[in-house]
Amino acid sequence: MKNIKNIVSGFLYRHGSHIFVATILSRLFSFFASWIALQLITENKLGLVIFAYSFIVFLIPIGGFGLEQAYIRYAALPKNSQSKEALFLYTFKKGIKIAFVFASLLAFIAALSPYFTEEAKLYFVILSFSLVSHYIFGMLKSYFRVQYKNKSFAYLEITNASILVLLVSLLSYYFKEIGYSFALILAPLFASLIFLPKEVLFRKTNTHKPELVNSRFWRYGFSASMANVATQLLFALDLILIGVLLSDPEMVTHYKYVSLIPFSLLFLPQVLITTDFVKITEQINDKAQTNTYIKNYWTLFSVISSITIAIAFIFSSEILSLFRQDYSQYTLTFRILIIGVVGIFLLRGLFGNLLSSIGKAHINFWIALASLVINFASNYYFIPKYGIRGAAITSASIMWLSGVSSYILFSIYYRKKE
């Protein structure tokens, strides 16, 4: 109990409760927005949008060439606020330009692709520009974390989720799947415009290139973003391969909603690490502090994992029926995914971030890349044989495998660190 008390007290001291509440509300609002879309759009049409967005989602972390990833680590190093703000200004403006060019190129390629239907191409072109809005949104979240403004971080999350519900309701009602596509782009953009730190962005004295920006800065950002791309692709690949191998957009929709709650639960380790990452990075050379944090984290998430499994296994049918009554047939698929999520709780969520803290973000990329290869090969066997349950088996296995790999590699590199 002492371990749990220690990590919770540190979490609360850094206003983690605001991030926790905001993340829960954000997940609930996102859940509600997804439910609204399911009521207003046919499963076939919605499946096509989800299929297209699955390709875009895993590219979002690389939209700004990973500058937001480099920013949050390197901004934790200098002590003065002027250096932090100068770095933010540089990465914010530079990243937007990169994201817009990348999005335009992606839309152009999608429009000319011979592999998608004309209708699917339209969704690809529209959703490509979510790279820009999500980069702006991600940079703002990183800025608030670096400045220890976790309350502002929380309000930004809640605002984004609230706007998403509003836009999905209005645009899906009037414009169906096209409106839903625009809602996914506009929600983070509108939320960001409300919270932009204008006093920093329009300060003329902050126009120089910060000293922290060098080749190592760019390499770190690219490596970290590629690791996130590969990780996002792990989740998106299931939907993509279900759409390709089963040729049934409705099954894409079914898997999306069956996996929605298990994958949404990943906010639990994320909210803790989001609150603590800057502090962990500042103290990463203190091995006693780091080891204590790991022990406290494990104690807390062992309890959370036990409760999650118990609830999911007992009430799986009732939970799935919240979407549609016939979704209760996927209880086994749901339970398999929950077991996989526990692997993220206990291992990957913690040690993946600790690898980034010691400057080994590229290791996360190689772990994710190896996981992708296994995912692709396994799904080609399991999906045709077991349908969406096969995709769940593959995902759950990889969550544990990548978690164990992160733990082993962090232990090796951290032991060598002086």
Q: Do the domain assignments include residue 161?
A: yes
Residue type, 172: S
> Following CA atoms 409, 411, 412, 416 in sequence, which dihedral angle do they give, to the nearest 10 degrees?
140
Same domain for 344 and 248: yes
Between the alpha carbon of residue 34 and those of residues 169, 194, 260, 398, the distances in Å are 10, 24, 9, 26
* Cβ(99)–Cβ(64) below 8 Å: yes
Domain with 311 in it: 227-418
Same domain for 231 and 208: no
Q: Please state the pTM of the whole predicted model.
A: 0.70
Q: What are phi and psi of 211, to 5 degrees?
A: -65, -30
Same domain for 341 and 373: yes
Enumerate residues 6+ apart whose C-beta is below 8 A from 246. Answer: 383, 384, 387
d(CA 224, CA 58): 13
DSSP letters along 74-121, please? Answer: HTTS--SHHHHHHHHHHHHHHHHHHHHHHHHHHHHHHHH-TTS-HHHH
Between the alpha carbon of residue 195 and those of residues 83, 160, 169, 267, the distances in Å are 21, 11, 23, 22
Alpha helices per DSSP H over 321-360: 331-343, 349-357
Q: Do the domain assignments include residue 6?
A: no
Burial pattern 349-387, b for ≥16 Cβ within 10 A else e, equals bbbbbbbbbbbbbbbbbbbbeebbeebeebbeebbeeeb
Q: Show which of 149, 179, 213 is a domain's final residue.
A: 213
Backbone CA torsion sign across 377, 380, 386, 392? positive
Same domain for 252 and 339: yes
Same domain for 248 and 139: no
Same domain for 34 and 107: yes
Q: Do the domain assignments include residue 8?
A: no
Enumerate residues 6+ apart whose C-beta is below 8 A from 357. Answer: 73, 277, 280, 281, 284
Q: Show which of 191, 213, 235 is a domain's final residue.
A: 213
Enumerate residues 6+ apart whose C-beta is below 8 A from 123. Answer: 48, 49, 52, 53, 177, 181
Q: Show which of 190, 213, 236 is a domain's final residue.
A: 213
d(CA 296, CA 302): 10
Tally of CB atoms within 10 A around 237: 23
Same domain for 184 and 44: yes
The closest alpha carbon to 160, from 124, 127, 193, belongs to 193
* Cβ(135)–Cβ(63) below 8 Å: yes
Same domain for 247 and 361: yes
Same domain for 96 and 39: yes
pLDDT by 10s per residue, the chain, length 418: 656 666 666 666 665 677 777 878 888 898 899 889 989 998 888 888 888 888 888 788 888 888 888 888 787 766 666 777 788 888 888 999 999 999 999 999 988 888 777 888 899 999 999 999 999 999 999 888 888 788 888 899 999 999 999 999 999 999 999 999 999 999 999 999 999 887 666 665 555 677 778 788 888 888 777 777 777 777 778 888 888 888 777 888 888 888 888 988 887 888 787 777 777 877 778 888 888 888 888 988 999 999 999 999 999 888 888 887 888 888 999 999 999 999 999 998 889 888 888 878 788 888 888 988 998 899 988 999 888 899 999 999 999 999 999 999 998 988 876 5
Q: Do the domain assignments include residue 10?
A: no
Alpha carbon 6 to chain centroid, angstroms? 27
Same domain for 201 and 238: no
The pLDDT value given to residue 40? 93
Two tokens at 348?
A: 């990957």
Same domain for 352 and 258: yes
Alpha carbon 331 to chain centroid, angstroms? 25
> Following CA atoms 238, 241, 242, 248 in sequence, which dihedral angle do they give, to the nearest 10 degrees?
150
Q: Do the domain assignments include residue 11?
A: no
* Cβ(393)–Cβ(336) below 8 Å: yes
> Following CA atoms 400, 406, 412, 414 in sequence, which dihedral angle do they give, to the nearest 10 degrees?
-140
- Residue 271, judged by CB atoms within 10 A of its CB (0-12, 13-18, 19+), counts as buried
Q: Do the domain assignments include residue 312?
A: yes
Q: Do the domain assignments include residue 7?
A: no
d(CA 333, CA 299): 28
Same domain for 62 and 208: yes
Q: How many structural domains comprise the chain?
A: 2
Q: Do the domain assignments include residue 414?
A: yes
d(CA 414, CA 411): 5
